[in-house]
Structure formats: C-alpha cells, structure tokens
Amino acid sequence: MPTLSTAIRPTVWIGCLACYNAGRLTGDWYDADIANLVTPEDLHGRPTLHEELWVMDHEDFCGALEGECSPSEAAEIAEALSELTHDEAAAFSVWVREWGESGDRSGWVDRFRSEYRGFHDSEGHFAQEWAEETSEPENRARMSVWPFNAIDWDYAAQELFSGGFHAEEVLGGVHVFCPR
C-alpha cells in the first residue's frame, strides 16, 4: 500500500453504506491517500453486491476536512496535504473552507500558495509589512522615520482589505490571502 511521504498522515474510516442502512457497521481504517482505491470487497473480505462506500470518520486532516465525505474527496484532500509543510497545513485548511471546496481541485496546492500571504499578528501588521516589502528599495530606509512611523496601520489595513486582500482570524493572529 502506498503511504503519504509527509509527516501529515491523515486516515479515514470507510464504511459500507448498504450495511450501515441495514443496521450493521462494516468498515475499517485506511490511509486517506488510498481511500479512493478501497473496494467493497476490501471491506467485506469477499465478493459482495454492495457498491457504495463512505468516509464516516477521519483523523489528522488539520481541519481541511469536516464531516463525512466520499473516499475520492478524502483522497484528494490527503494528496494536497502531502504536498504541504506543517506550517502550511493550518492555512490550507482555512483556504479550503473559504475558496477551495467548489470547482476544480486540480492545482489546489499551487493555487493556495499563490494566494497565501502568510500568518501575521494582525491585519495592521500585515499592512505595514506589505508596505515595506512592496516599496521601492530607496524608500525602505525612510520607512522607519516620519511620516511612515506615524501611519495608523490598522486604518491602512481597512483600506487594503477592502481592495482584495482577505484575513481569516485564528488563535494568535490572522492568515492573509489574496484570492483571485
């Protein structure tokens, strides 16, 4: 069985829906990256007429998966998580809930990385860092003196975030995105 190449190793409990509807729990835990390869025969240990499988429980998805889903959806999310670092996983789960759940999932990680602007203490801190990073090199040295040190960065952030940037507040700060 193939396994994930990262320390993020989500698992899923896949069950047979026909058995569940008949009042029996038939299923087992699998590595999430192979969930789409599990067959009803794998669950039953023999040939069966039952066809539909469902992920009824899961672990270690870093918040990127909530509730039940199809085995193929769990495998897609697990594949995306396998390409991420632990630092990116929390931000990715926020991004998935906001922008990644609908539409084409191919290229998820690339799209997430192009839209993610990092974790910051606050929107105001992001606005100040963004201004410093995007200013011309000759202006950067002047940013520590007046009038730059007198800027109300929280107010500047309000303007910045009304123009396309988006922040999701989490414990200890904000994840900042600039979605397309």
Domain ranges of the chain: 1-83, 86-180
pTM of the model: 0.78
Using CA atoms, how far residue 144 sits from 128, 131, 135, 139, in Å, is 11, 12, 13, 10
**pLDDT computed for residue 145 by the predictor:** 61
Q: State how far the Cα of 109 lies from the Cα of 66, in Å rounded to an integer.
A: 19
Q: State how far the Cα of 116 lies from the Cα of 178, in Å rounded to an integer.
A: 6
Closest Cα partner for 157 from 174, 179, 135?
Answer: 174
**pLDDT computed for residue 5 by the predictor:** 43
**pLDDT computed for residue 147 by the predictor:** 64
**pLDDT computed for residue 59 by the predictor:** 96
**pLDDT computed for residue 136 by the predictor:** 72
**pLDDT computed for residue 142 by the predictor:** 63
Q: How many CB atoms lie within 10 A of CB 50?
A: 17
Q: Strand pairing of 173-177 and 166-170?
A: antiparallel
Using CA atoms, how far residue 104 sits from 76, 100, 101, in Å, is 11, 8, 9
**pLDDT computed for residue 37 by the predictor:** 97
Residue numbers of the chain with a pLDDT score lower than 50 = 1-6
